[in-house]
Chain A
Amino acid sequence: MSDPTTQAVIEAKSLSVDYRLKKEWFNVIHDVSLRIEPLQIHGLVGESGSGKSTLAMALLRYMANNARISSGTITFDGQNITESSPANMRKLWGDQINLVPQDPLSSLNPAYTIGNQMAELTMQKSGMNRQEAHAHAVEMLAKVKIADAEDVMKRYPHQLSGGMIQRVMIAMALSTQPRLLVLDEPTTALDVTTQAVILDLFRDLVHDQTVFKSGGGALYVSHDLGTVAQLCDKVTVLYGGEVMETAAVDDLFARPTHPYTIGLLASLPRHSVESDTRLSTISGTAPSLAERPSACVFAPRCPVAIDKCHSEKPPLEAVEGNRLIRCWRWQEIATGDITVMNKPQATPAEVAPRKAHVLATTHIEKQFGSQSLFDRLTGKAFNPVHAVDDVSITIQERSTFGLVGESGSGKSTLARAIVALDPANSGEIELCGVEIDNRLEKRGKEALRNLRMVFQNPNDALNPYQTVGQAIGRTLKLLGEQQTVEDIRTRVLELLQAVRLTPEYADRYPAELSGGEKQRVAIARAFAANPALIVADEPTSSLDVSVQAVILNMLKDLRAERGASYMLISHDLDVIAYLADWIAVMYLGQIVEEGPNAEVYNAPSHPYTEALISAIPLPDPAQKGGIIRLEGEVPSAKDIPTGCRFHTRCPRYLGDICKHEEPPWRDAGNGHFILCHIPVDELRELQNNEKPPVRAENGHANKEGTSS
C-alpha cells in the first residue's frame, strides 16, 4: 500500500455516465477527470443541470437503476471501484465513504430518534454495542458543538431545526472516521446565518485529525460560488456534464480562464458593485440532455466562441499551475489577448425617485392560527402566531423598497398582506394616495391594476394549461385598457419584447420554457396592466446565478422604462443591495432597521443586520467575510421574546435592559433608523472595531431549535 497521506482519496479518470430514458441512452457526464487530494476540500460547482449531483453520486457508486458508467475509471484509496458490486460498495459506504446530504430534515428517518439513527451506523460499521455506540454518538455531537447532546439523542428529526439536523448529519458522517466525505449542497436549505455557522464548523473539523481518517478528504458540491470560495482548496467547474476548468481556489477566483467561469463570477450581484451598472450576463440557457452540442458544450452561450468551437470538442488540457481547462482559446484569454466580458454598461438614466408615496402601510398586523373547538372547550389559552406585528412602511414613487430577513421573519407574510392574498388582521394600506381595503374582494379594479405580484417559484405561478399569450392576455382583459383581440395580441407581443422574449413565446406553454423564461413571463404579466407597484417575493431565488443576473438587469430596466416601483423581498442581501434604493430589515415580524441602501449596509447597523452582512460568504477566497456569528435560530413567532426581540441571539447584548425593555428607534441621519438600545454613535464605534463582540451573558449557546 502506498502512503495514504499522498495517495489521492478518490480519483476519476475520463469518467462518462449515461442515463437511459425511453430505451435510449443519453450521455450526462462526459470525460470528467477529478482528483481529491488528502486533507483537501475539493469544490464542485455548477448550475442546475450541470450534472454535479449526478457526478458526485456516481463517484460514490450510488446510481439509479437507469444509469451506467459508460467509460473511465474511479479509484478510491488506490482501489478500482468502477465496477465494484453493491455488496462491496456496502463495505465502503458508511465506513470509508460518507455523505452529508442537501436536505437535512428529510434525510433522516422521521420514525426513529437521532440516537437510534446515529448508533445504527457505528453498531454496523465499528462493531460497537449499543452502549458504546450511544457514548460515541454523544461524543460526536459534542464535536459539532451541540451542547445538550444527550437530549438531542432522544429527539426525533422533526423536533430539531434545519441547522441542528445538519450538525447531526455531519457528526454522523464523521463518526466512522471516513476517508472521503461528500457534502452535497449541505447549506442550501439553511438561512445565511446558520450556513455561516455550519461552514465555520466544517472548516475546523476537516483539519481535526480525530474525525477524519489520516489523509481524508472532502468533496463539496454547490451552486454557490461564495461558499466554495470560503471553504474549498481546489475547485472544479462543471457545465453540461463536462469539466470546464479545475484550479486551486485562489487561482480560479483571481484568474478565471474559462469563459464560463468568467461569466459566472461576473454575473454575481455584489454589494461592492455600483448599483447603477448592469450585471454581466451569460446569454442563453444551459443545454438539455437531448440537445447537448457535440462540440464545445458552452459554445452556444460563449461570447468569444469561434468556428472551431462549434465544430470540434476541445480536450481537457492539463496546463501549468495544476490547472485543467477545456477551451480552444484559453491561452488567448490567459494572456489577455481577448476579453470575455465587456465592461458592464450603465443602466439607463433613471428618473430620480419622487417624493410622493406609492404605498404606505400603517400598523399592519397579521396573526395566524385559530382556536380549535377542543381548546375552547378545555379553556386552553389561545396563542396565535404573530407573523407581522405593527409594521408601517412607505414606498416612494419609482423606487425599489428592499425587504430582507431570515426565514420566519415575516417578510413574505407582510407582502401577502399588502397584496391581500392573506389579508392583514388590522392596519391601513394606502395605495397611490387612496386608502384600500385589507381584503381582496373589497378592493376595486383600480387597486388590483396598480398592485401586482411576482412570485418566488415561476413553475407554480403560471397555469400549465394556458399559453404565455393567454396568461398575459387574461390580465390585460381583466384589468387593462385593451379589449379587442387584436389590441390584446399587440400588447402581449410588446410586453414579451420588453422582457426580451421573441413573439413565438406567446403560443408556448409553460412546460416548454426554462425557469428563467417562466419568470420573465411572470414579470411581463405583472407589468401588463401598467401597475404602480410590483411586489416581488424572492423573484430570483429559484434561479441560477447566470439567469438571476438577467432578471435583475431586466427589473432595473423595466423600472426605468415604465416608472413602476418595486417592493423586493429577499433573503439575499446582495440581491437587495444591488436593486434597492431603500432597505428595511425584518426580524420576528418587526422592522428593526430601515434607511437608504448605502446607509444600511455600512456602520452603524442594527446588530442583526450586521450579523446578516457578516454571514455572507464572499465569492473571493482572498477576502474573509465577517466574523460575527449568530447563536441559535429565529425563535418561534408563537413565543416572542420580551424586550428587544433579538436579545436572545444578539452578539451585542447589553444586559437586562435588552431583555425587559422594548428598544427605542434611534435616528442615524438621512432617514436611517435603527431599533436598538445601543446609541448610534456607540454602535458605529463598536462596528468599526474589528474584534468580534463577546456576549455579556452566554446562556443561549446551542439551545437552538430544540422545541418540542
Chain B
Amino acid sequence: MTRFILRRFLLLILTLFVTSFIIFSLTQLLPGDIARINLGREASEEALQRERERLGLDSPFLTQYADWLGGFVTGDWGVSYNRGNPPVRPLVIDRLNNTVKLGLMTLIISIPISILLGVLAALRENTIVDSIISLVSLSVVGLPEFVTGIIFINVFAHGTGWFPTTSIVRDGFTFGEWINVLTLPAMTATLVLLGYVSRMTRAGVIDELKKPYVRTAILKGIPQRQVIFKHVLRNALLPTITVIAISIGWLIGGLVVIEEVFNFPGLGKELVDAVQAKNIPMIQAIVMLIVLAFALANLAADVLYGLLNPRIRLE
C-alpha cells in the first residue's frame, strides 16, 4: 500500500509539473502588453522598458518559467497587476478559504442525500420509487445553476426570508453566520451534483446486487440491512468515491456561476475577474490552486479506494 501511495504521489508531482508548464505557456499567449496596460497609453518607451524589466518580462521564456515556478513553490506568488500591486498570495488564500467553506457545505448536504437516493432507487429498481428518483434527479441536473439559484433566492430569501439574498462575506463571521450565507449557494451546487452522484450510486448498487457474494450473504440468513450495509454498500460505493473526488475539483474551481449569482467572493469569481483584467500572476496562482485541488482530491480518492479495496491495498 505504501508503494501504491508513493507511486500515486510521484505521479501527482509529475502532473503538477506538466500542468504548471502548460499554464505558464498559455498565460504568455494572452494578447496585449502588460507594461502598457499597467502604465497607460502615454507611457514612454523607456518607462515601458523599465516596467518590463521590473516584471521580468524581458528575460527568455524558460528563465521566466523557472523564476515563476521557483517563486510559486517557495510561496512567492508575485504581485497583482491591480492598482497598488498588492501581493497575490494573501488575496488568493482568502478567496480559497471561502471557496473551501462553500465546497465543504455542499459536500455535507449533497453526499448523504444523493447516496441515500441512489441506494433507494437501486433497491427498488424499476419500480415507481426508482422512476421518481431518477426523473427528479436527472431533471434538476439539466437546470442551469443561475436558474435554480434564482429560484432558491426567490423562495428562501425573498419568500420566507430564512436566508440572505446575497452571500457577502465579512471578516469575523461566526459559525452561524457562515451557515447562513453558505446554505443557499451550497443547495444550488448540491442540485448539480445530486443527479450525478445518485445515478452513480444506483448503478453501483445494482451491479453489486447481481454478484454471487450477495446471494451467499442472503443465504446466510442474516438480516437484510446487514446484507445491504455490510456487504453491498462497501463495494458499491467504490465508483461513487471517484465521482465525488472529481466533483471536489469542480467545487474549488468551477462554481463561477453560483458565486456570481450569490455575489459570493470565491476563487472562481476571482479568476474570471483576473482574466478580464489580464492579471497574469493572479490567473497563474488561481489556476495552479485549482489544478492542485483536482490532483489532491484524486489522490485522496485513489488512496481511499485502495484502503477500501483489499485487492489494491495488498498488491
A and B bound? Answer: yes
The chain A residues found within 8 Å of chain B, CB to CB, are 60, 62, 89-95, 97-99, 101-103, 106-112, 120-121, 124-125, 156, 158-159, 374, 708
Q: How far is the CB of A100 from chain B (nearest CB, A)?
A: 10
Nearest chain B residue, comparing its CB with the CB of A374: B7
Which of A92, A95, A121 counts the most B-chain CB atoms under 10 A from its CB?
A121
A94 touches B212 (CB 8 A): no
- Interface check B221, CB cutoff 8 A: yes
Known: A106-B212, A112-B234. 14 other contacts (CB 8 A): A91-B221, A99-B216, A101-B215, A102-B212, A107-B212, A108-B213, A109-B231, A110-B213, A110-B235, A120-B220, A120-B222, A124-B220, A124-B222, A125-B221
Which of B219, B231, B314 counts the most A-chain CB atoms under 10 A from its CB?
B219
Q: How far is the CB of B298 from chain A (nearest CB, A)?
A: 18
Please tell me which one of the listed residues B10, B218, B221, B311 contacts residue A110 in the complex, with CB atoms under 8 A apart: B311
A111 touches B211 (CB 8 A): no
The chain B residues found within 8 Å of chain A, CB to CB, are 7, 10, 211-213, 215-223, 230-231, 234-235, 308-311, 314
B220 touches A121 (CB 8 A): yes
Q: A150 to B86, alpha carbons, bound, how many Å?
A: 65
Q: How far is the CB of B183 from chain A (nearest CB, A)?
A: 36
A94 touches B222 (CB 8 A): yes
Q: Report chain A residues within 8 Å CB of B216.
A: 99, 101, 107-109
B310 touches A62 (CB 8 A): no
Q: A101 to B216, alpha carbons, bound, how many Å?
A: 8
Q: Report chain A residues within 8 Å CB of B218.
A: 62, 93
Please tell me which one of the listed residues B221, B235, B314 contacts residue A94 in the complex, with CB atoms under 8 A apart: B221
Q: Report chain B residues within 8 Å CB of A103.
A: 212
Q: A94 to B311, alpha carbons, bound, how many Å?
A: 27
Q: Report chain A residues within 8 Å CB of B10.
A: 374
Q: A111 to B309, alpha carbons, bound, how many Å?
A: 6
Nearest chain B residue, comparing its CB with the CB of A57: B215
Please tell me which one of the listed residues B217, B235, B314 contacts residue A159 in the complex, with CB atoms under 8 A apart: B314
Nearest chain A residue, comparing its CB with the CB of B234: A111
Q: A97 to B221, alpha carbons, bound, how many Å?
A: 9
Nearest chain B residue, comparing its CB with the CB of A156: B310
Please tell me which one of the listed residues A92, A111, A708 contacts residue B221 in the complex, with CB atoms under 8 A apart: A92
Q: A92 to B220, alpha carbons, bound, how many Å?
A: 9
Nearest chain B residue, comparing its CB with the CB of A101: B212
A110 and B215 in contact, given A120-B220, A120-B222 (Cβ under 8 angstroms): no
Nearest chain A residue, comparing its CB with the CB of B208: A109
A93 touches B219 (CB 8 A): yes
A93 touches B220 (CB 8 A): yes
A94 and B220 in contact, given A62-B215, A110-B309 (Cβ under 8 angstroms): yes
Q: Report chain B residues within 8 Å CB of A708.
A: 314
Q: How far is the CB of B8 from chain A (nearest CB, A)?
A: 10
Q: How far is the CB of A95 from chain B (nearest CB, A)?
A: 6
Q: How far is the CB of B295 from chain A (nearest CB, A)?
A: 18
Q: A156 to B314, alpha carbons, bound, how many Å?
A: 9
Please tell me which one of the listed residues B211, B221, B310 contacts residue A158 in the complex, with CB atoms under 8 A apart: B310
B310 touches A111 (CB 8 A): yes
Which of A89, A91, A110, A125 counts the most B-chain CB atoms under 10 A from its CB?
A110
Nearest chain B residue, comparing its CB with the CB of A116: B230
Q: How far is the CB of B136 from chain A (nearest CB, A)?
A: 24
Q: Report chain A residues within 8 Å CB of B230.
A: 120
Q: How far is the CB of B310 from chain A (nearest CB, A)?
A: 4
B213 touches A158 (CB 8 A): no
30 contacts between A and B (CB under 8 A): A60-B219, A90-B221, A93-B221, A94-B220, A97-B219, A99-B215, A103-B212, A106-B211, A106-B213, A107-B212, A107-B215, A108-B213, A108-B216, A109-B234, A110-B213, A110-B235, A110-B309, A110-B310, A111-B235, A112-B234, A120-B222, A120-B230, A124-B221, A124-B222, A125-B220, A156-B310, A156-B311, A156-B314, A159-B314, A374-B10
Q: A708 to B212, alpha carbons, bound, how many Å?
A: 24
B221 touches A109 (CB 8 A): no
Please tell me which one of the listed residues A109, A120, A125 contacts residue B235 in the complex, with CB atoms under 8 A apart: A109
Q: How far is the CB of B220 from chain A (nearest CB, A)?
A: 4
Nearest chain B residue, comparing its CB with the CB of A159: B314
Which of B215, B220, B231 counts the most A-chain CB atoms under 10 A from its CB?
B220
